[in-house]
Amino acid sequence: MKSIFSLFVFSIVASSALADPAISRVCVHQRWPWSAKVDVTYDLSGTAVPVDVAVTATVGGETVQIEGKALEGEYLSVMSGTHTLTWDPAVSLPELGAKKLDGVAFTLTPVMEKRYMIVDLSDGLADTREARVSYTNEVVGTGVDAAGGRAWGDEYKTTKLVLRRCPAGTFRMGSPASELYRQSNENLRQVAISRPFYIGVFEFTFEQCARIGYPTSYSYFTNAAYRATRPVDALCYMHVVGDADYPSCGTASVVGCLRRKSGVEFHLPTEAQWEYACRAGTIGVTYAVDEELTGYAQTQGAIVGVGNSNRATYYTAKTAVSPEEGGTKAVGLYVPNAWGLYDTIGNVAEWTRDWYATTGYGDGKKYLVDPSPTAEQAVQNWAGTGAKARVCRGGGYANNATDVAYYNFMYCRAAARRGGRTNTWDVHCTGFRVWAPAD
């Protein structure tokens, strides 16, 4: 028979760390008998900054923290107002089965937004999430940026790993027809990112690889005195995540080692997530431009100004070059985007977890939600070889933007999609930045 969730007991708690935010007017309704899912509407008040809402349920005297994978809707990075979230008991409490839930205590607690995730890769800590993962809403450390403000120091590029949370939202993916050297597979479309996620503030570095026990001998850059804070290069997709599609990864891969060290379900971003994070709300040729550019000089200046895309030395063989000679640069030397992410244009190109489809992105659709070409359309063979290719984004130092050759410009734009790299391609100017789900 039909039933609303009228027998729930509510406990509304304000976090001691957040004195002002408060939750009130909670309304809960179970979709019984057609579904065990629970819809919750609530009012949040008293906050001038985004907060998260922690959800717990007490069943049979036992309190259970509801994980993000069991929640949908508005509970991350929310502001004052009326919000709705949905809890799926079958995910977090499978032992209950699909049934009407009576007498369950349900608690909503406003907590810190957790803007930055920090993973400590130092020796001597237990390999657990509790021991290695912390959060902050502010940039911390001893570094100084070009304007004299506080910036992440070298420890966050070597013995620690820092990620920025990107909010859910909608953005314009692709490039306008007027953009210089655009490709035919960059058609504009509106893309919705339905859930927040974390992504590396910096490209993953050699020292971070060493800290998680992954070898660095593969690199084309052999100057050990300088490479600790330089981005990983020359790693093929198989090295980064193994021969597996998300959410799986190879246990011996870089991501597998990082998961084992941290207890966090790291992976690579989809290319939609990558471009969303790179743009940080802008629509131009790079993240520093919020307008459409058509001129060569303007476009070149925009690209050179935000990243290491001015090749002086090209890694054609194993080499021990110095910073002055060229190649990659230490991460974080160039202007960050509005969300504080560095080097999304230039330094090294970055793997995403998507297969490349030569027919274009999104199969001609004008509006996409959490897209991935793997799911949106058939994956095409690369260059007639019978091999499938992954997508790289962001260009790299080898795409010299001071060269008038069009293909050097082409890959250093926010919208540029680079296929043609199979799982085992270990080209010398390709690295990655890590991704993690927000929960």
Amino acid at 96: L
DSSP code at position 433: -
Percentage of the chain with pLDDT > 70?
A: 89
Which residues touch 10 (CB under 8 Å, ≥6 apart)?
A: 26, 28, 105, 106, 107
Question: Measured between alpha carbons, how far is 188 from 90 in angstroms, rounded to an integer?
Answer: 38
Task: Tell me the residue type at 14.
Answer: A
* CATH T-level assignment (fold) for domain 116-437: paralog of FGE (formylglycine-generating enzyme) (3.90.1580)
Among all chains, which residue has been given the structure tokens 């250093």? 412
Position 287 scores a pLDDT of 93
What is d(CA 163, CA 433) in angstroms, rounded to the nearest whole number? 9
Domain pair 9-111 / 116-437, same fold: no
Q: Provide the whole-model pTM.
A: 0.87
pLDDT in tens, 404-435: 666 677 888 999 988 767 888 877 789 999 99
If we measure between CA atoms, which residue out of 303, 276, 305, 280 comes closest to residue 290? Answer: 280
Domain range 9-111, its CATH number among 2.60.40, 3.40.50, 1.10.10, 2.60.120: 2.60.40
Going across the sheet that includes 418-421, the strands are 418-421, 390-393, 349-355, 430-431
Q: 308 and 347 in contact (C-beta within 8 Å)?
A: yes
Q: What are phi and psi of 197, to 5 degrees?
A: -150, 160
Cα–Cα distance, 209 to 216 (Å, whole number): 7
Quote the DSSP letter at residue 213: T
DSSP alpha helix (H) spans, 269-405: 271-279, 296-306, 373-376
Cβ-proximal residues to 389 (8 Å cutoff; 6+ apart), any chain: 355, 356, 382, 419, 420, 421, 422, 425
Mean pLDDT of all residues belonging to the chain: 85
Question: Residue 147: what pLDDT?
Answer: 61
Domain residue extents for the chain: 9-111, 116-437
Distance CA 254, CA 235 (A): 10
Type of residue found at 42: Y
Predicted confidence at residue 94, as pLDDT, reads 80
Residues in the chain with pLDDT values less than 50: 1-18
What token pair was written down for 114? 């957790």
pLDDT of residue 112: 84
Task: Judge contact between 52 and 110, C-beta under 8 A.
Answer: yes
Sequence-separated (6 or more) residues with CB below 8 Å from residue 409: 180, 181, 299, 300, 303, 399, 401
Per-residue pLDDT tens digits for 63-120: 888 988 889 999 988 899 999 999 998 888 787 766 777 777 788 999 888 999 999 9
Q: What is the DSSP string of 411-431?
A: TTSTT--EEEE-TT---TTEE
CA distance readout (Å), 106 to 65, 67, 250, 391, 439: 10, 14, 38, 43, 18
Distances from the Cα of 214 to the Cαs of 209, 236, 249, 254, 432, in angstroms? 5, 14, 15, 6, 15
R_g of the chain computed on alpha carbons: 23
Q: In terms of residues, how long is the chain? A: 439
The secondary element (H helix, E strand) that includes residue 24 is strand 22-30
In 242-295, which ranges are continuous DSSP H helix?
A: 254-262, 271-279
Beta-ladder partners of 393: 350
Spatial CA neighbour of 242 closest among 350, 353, 348:
353
Stated as kind and residue range, the H or E segment containing 232 is none
Spatial contact of 362 and 189, defined as CB atoms under 8 Å apart = yes
